[in-house]
A = this chain, B = another copy of it.
């Protein structure tokens, strides 16, 4: 019988941590997932269904022991945006399209596993991700203003237009909704640091403190629901409420497999799959490293892929590993995916027995939960850091950030990838080339611009600080020929290859050209400090035959000694 690894080696002493973590995560997950469903424009039960079966599948196939899978902000935002861009407005059609989207995402992740394409996410640089996540968090927070202030702002507008609508409508706020929204925000904020400090002060045990501080969303939901119910705010003051959630566990369904729908959804699904995978892997890695555990990115693709397929066939929408909840799970002491199994069971119980309790739950409170969940994602630190450390990275970050805010999420991520690859290639197309000289009478050779060194007028020793590949071969060739044209005394050039790990075909041809052109100009070329793998490839090429193995030196110093004798 198939049993996941963690279950085969399960130890009794892990159970306590898993049980407590599983309960705490469920307490966070139930209100949060309803809020994320709202963000995607889907009914709350769809989000709750996404919090049962997917968790079990991830527990069976994923590689992280503590990643808490379920509805997350970014995926909900992107799902909602996809539905709007496709012009799907009918409620039933929105739900069924969301199922198909989750199915496609699951299949894409499994195909990525088969094609070993997991490493594709490496092309998203940290600054691009930071700009993307910050801007998305702002969009998500802005999108909740209509719930918190009880306004009527259409969904799917670019962020600046949402903001404009919010400002221009704010005088029409619903007072009751605003009171609920703002007090929920204050309550949720108070449950974080202030409450923890207070509980520590009155010597509550660490476990109880943990539990109490994480139940902020539950408290906000309970208090605001009771408030609405007792004061009849929904009827008398038009406060938006969740309404009826059908009771019962999710039923298995077959998502809509209409080929034209699939074709239309595909580009969105690819992008959402990549983002979800990226988010989950980053979170899983940062937790695993703290316990010296490994994350297998291939297993992650299978875990997330099956979780999304499970969500699709059990009436849910796209899921991923959530940052906040995973941290809750981790700090609450989860030792294994059993914690997620317990969470799933509790969400299932909620669906079976507790849905009537949510009838009067005001959307303003859910909006406040989302805002507090996404605010920590706004990351000014990376920008500040990139600005002082590497201005081009800061530039990529800002381009991504503003493209997301002004156009949309998809354009932002694509612009970010293109700009960061372009800037990297541009930088490596003009590599640092140092002319080096001898330090005193040592065997060390250093940059003549940075050190006080001796040079020989007839022998030019230069170090290229980059691989030789198509984008920079012209630059190298031009630099060498310019140096030769400018210094008529030179009759030997030593190319120091200590930084060269790859010479591609263009690089090799360029070396050929350089050799040919230097020969025509009566200058001899030599190489020094070539790495083993590079030399292996050069052996047998015309270039090396023309150059002669005698012109290849192990060290710069050996080259300089030999050439001085020759002169």
Given A386-B505, A429-B122, A470-B124, does the pair A294, B532 have CB atoms closer than 8 Å?
Answer: no
The residue that A125 contacts in the complex, of B127, B389, B482, B505, with Cβ under 8 A, is B505
Residue of B nearest to A291 (CB): B520
Alpha-carbon distance A475/B123, docked complex (angstroms): 12
Q: Is A431 in contact with chain B by the CB < 8 A criterion?
A: yes
Map CB proximity to B onto A242-260 as digits: 1 under 8 Å, 0 otherwise: 0000000000000000000
Q: Which B residues are in CB contact (< 8 Å) with A403?
A: none
A200 interface residue per 8 A CB criterion: no
Please tell me which one of the listed residues B125, B509, B513 contacts residue A289 in the complex, with CB atoms under 8 A apart. Answer: B513
Chain A stretch 57-71: residues in CB contact (< 8 A) with chain B = none
The complex places the Cα of A484 from the Cα of B289 at a distance, in Å, of: 11
Report A149 CB to chain B, min CB distance, Å.
37
Residues of the B chain whose Cβ atoms lie less than 8 Å from the Cβ of A432:
501, 533
Q: Interface 1/0s, chain A 463-503, versus B by CB < 8 A?
A: 00111011111110100011011000000000000110110
- Residues of B with C-beta under 8 A to A420: 470
Is A517 in the interface zone, CB < 8 Å from B?
Answer: yes
Q: Is A454 an interface residue (CB 8 A)?
A: no
Q: Looking across the interface, which residue of chain B has its beta carbon closest to that of A397? A: B505
Number of residues on chain A facing chain B (CB within 8 A): 74
B466 touches A292 (CB 8 A): no
Q: Which residues of B contact A506 (CB under 8 A)?
A: 125-127, 393
B-contacting residues, A390-432, CB 8 Å: 390, 392-394, 420-421, 424-432
CB-based contact A508/B292 at 8 Å: no
| Contacting pair B290 A520 (CB below 8 A) | yes
User: Residue A508 contacts which of B285, B389, B520 (CB distance < 8 angstroms)?
Assistant: B389
A541 pairs with B470, CB closer than 8 A: no
Query: Which of A432, A504, A517 has the most CB atoms of chain B within a 10 A radius of its CB?
Result: A504
| Chain A interface SS verdict (over half) | helix
- In the complex, chain B residues whose CB is within 8 Å of the CB of A505: 125-127, 382, 385-386, 389-390, 393-394
Question: A450 interface residue, CB < 8 Å from B?
Answer: yes
Which partner residue on chain B sits nearest A486 by CB separation?
Answer: B294
**In the complex, A119 has a CB within 8 A of chain B:** yes
A447 at the interface (CB under 8 A from B): yes
- Structural contact, B470 and A125, CB atoms closer than 8 A: yes
Q: Does A531 contact B (CB under 8 A)?
A: yes
B466 contacts A521, C-beta separation under 8 Å: no
Known: A122-B474, A509-B126. A517 touches B390 (CB 8 A): no
Instruction: State whether A294 touches B482 (Cβ < 8 A).
Output: yes
Alpha-carbon gap, A484 to B382, bound state (A) = 28
Q: B521 contacts A292, CB within 8 Å?
A: yes
Given A498-B498, A541-B389, A424:B122 Cβ within 8 A = no
Residue A564 CB within 8 A of the other chain? no
Contact of A504 among B285, B424, B482 (CB under 8 A): B424
How many angstroms between the C-alpha atoms of A431 and B501 in the bound complex? 9
Q: Is the CB of B424 within 8 A of A517?
A: no
A294-B420 Cα distance, complex, nearest whole Å:
33
Cross-chain contact A122 with B421 (CB below 8 angstroms): no
Known: A470-B125, A532-B447, A533-B432. A289 touches B389 (CB 8 A): no
Identify which of B426, B475, B482, B537 contacts A389 (C-beta below 8 A).
B537
7 intermolecular pairs with C-beta atoms under 8 Å apart: A125-B505, A289-B516, A292-B484, A292-B520, A385-B505, A393-B504, A465-B501
